[in-house]
Amino acid sequence: MLKIFAGFFSGIALVAIVGWNTAGGLMMTEHESPFGVEETAARIQANIQALSDHGWKLSGLRSPSVSVAAAGQNVPPVLLVEACSTKYSGPLLAEDATRILSILMPCTITVYKKDDGKTYVGTMNAGLMGKMFGSKVSSIMDKVAEDQKAFLSFDADKPAPPLIKTRPGGGKGAGGQELSGC
């Protein structure tokens, strides 16, 4: 009997350990890009703008690697493309129970170079994230996940669009004068 209980609890512990170690890999997705960092970010921005009928707008472009370099460290380039959809954010912000999800707004897509010299794109797994918050949030985040796929659809036959250097908050001037973002 003792062996049965020990085996049962060992199995539970093993599942917990495996779950803990793989959860982060499920919550974030990483894709290799065929383009450089700035061109990838520009193509993502253009794809976001193409989905304006889904309420998507660019709300910022950040470069944390520039800040790190200013502090004296040398790191490969990283760009954060920020976008928000009022169509999706509106219903979440309208209710007390889901307003805390504003921490996920704007939707941020990271574009970065690794030591292998290749460019990668990282996103939050919006579909999986939504499932943790009930059916209403899940249905909205499933739509966000569909749009994210479109954001990352690159047509190498099309010329690269220009990188839009929108400041966080929606403003184009110093410090992002506007307080929009969604």
pLDDT digits (tens, 9 = 90+) for 17-30: 555 555 556 789 99
| Per-residue model confidence (pLDDT) at position 50 | 96
Residue 176 has pLDDT above 80, yes or no: no
pTM of the model: 0.81
Residue 181 has pLDDT above 60, yes or no: no
Rounded to 10°, the helix 135-151/37-50 angle is: 120
| Per-residue model confidence (pLDDT) at position 20 | 52
Closest by alpha carbon to 124, among 103, 147, 148, 100?
148
122 in Cβ contact with 81 (< 8 Å): no
Tokens of 125: 């797994």
Q: pLDDT tens digit string along 105-155?
A: 899 999 999 999 999 999 999 999 899 999 999 999 999 999 999 999 999
| Per-residue model confidence (pLDDT) at position 72 | 92
Tokens of 156: 């190498």
Q: pLDDT tens digit string along 48-60?
A: 999 999 999 999 9
Q: How far apart are CA 167 and CA 23, in angstroms?
A: 32
Q: Going from the N-terminus, what domains does the chain have, and what CATH number goes with each?
A: 28-151 (3.30.310.70)
107 in Cβ contact with 87 (< 8 Å): no
